[in-house]
Amino acid sequence: MDKESVIRKTEEHIKNKLSGESSGHDWWHVYRVWKMAINICKEEKADLFVVQLASLLHDISDWKFNSGDDDVGPKLAREWLEKMQVDEETISHVCIIIKEMSFKGADVPSQMKTKEGMIVQDADRLDAIGAMGIARTFAYGGHKGREIYNPNIKPKRHKSFEEYKNNKSPTINHFYEKLLLLKDLMNTKTGKKIAEERHEFMKQFLDRFFNEWEGKS
């Protein structure tokens, strides 16, 4: 098995599949997660082949676009990797990472157990915070037809994946229901360090947002 060839073909496969997607789960999101995961992996010392495959395939079919079914992504990833003749141990590892990667609610614990999974999860979560996270959050909110903000609808702490994925609250609430929680959910030392600055930027944005909401300068 030529690992470089598998990575290159997987990159092209995902680029063709997700290019032009408008919800913030497009090829360029995958590209950023892939590059971030490689950088974290260099610091954290893990299996780079698994990290790259899981990064490239993590949004091959996100549960958000499958009526909440989080089995579709791993299934499609497995089909692709089998076609590429990747060994079963690697395929299983990648599919478990994809299955367990998503944030599933404030009070739902993460199931990620391997260092490779933790690295890819951190990379994905880093793209959900900071300036990029803000842009993606509003892109997704618009894609789903959600209000930007409604002061009469308060954020919630979701106690189950079902409750979280059926949530339809305004986009600003998402900062409190997920994004501002991610800093403390980072797995790796490298991820934690990067998350600190991006977290502070989101807090500054929200301060400015609420000032402008009230007509202040």
Q: What is the mean pLDDT of residues 182-188?
A: 95
> What pTM, to 2 d.p., does this model score?
0.90
Name the E strands within 43-155: none
Please tell me the predicted confidence (pLDDT) of residue 39. 96
Q: What angle do CA 121, 36, 128 make, to 5 degrees?
A: 55
pLDDT band at 24 (very low <50, low <70, confident <90, very high): confident
Tell me the CB-side half-sphere exposure of residue 108, using CA atoms within 13 A: 18
* Residue 7 confidence (pLDDT) above 60: yes
Cβ-count burial of 6 within 10 angstroms (0-12 exposed, 13-18 middle, 19+ buried)? Answer: buried
The tokens for 35 are: 């590059």
Quick count: other Cβ atoms within 10 Å of Cβ 175? 20
Quick count: other Cβ atoms within 10 Å of Cβ 212? 10
Q: What is the mean pLDDT of residues 20-24?
A: 79
Please tell me the predicted confidence (pLDDT) of residue 194. 97
3-213 is classed CATH 1.10.3210.50: yes
Predicted confidence (pLDDT) per residue in 41-81, tens digit = 999 999 999 999 999 999 887 655 555 567 888 999 999 99
The tokens for 9 are: 């073909």
Cβ atoms of residues 133 and 181 within 8 Å: no
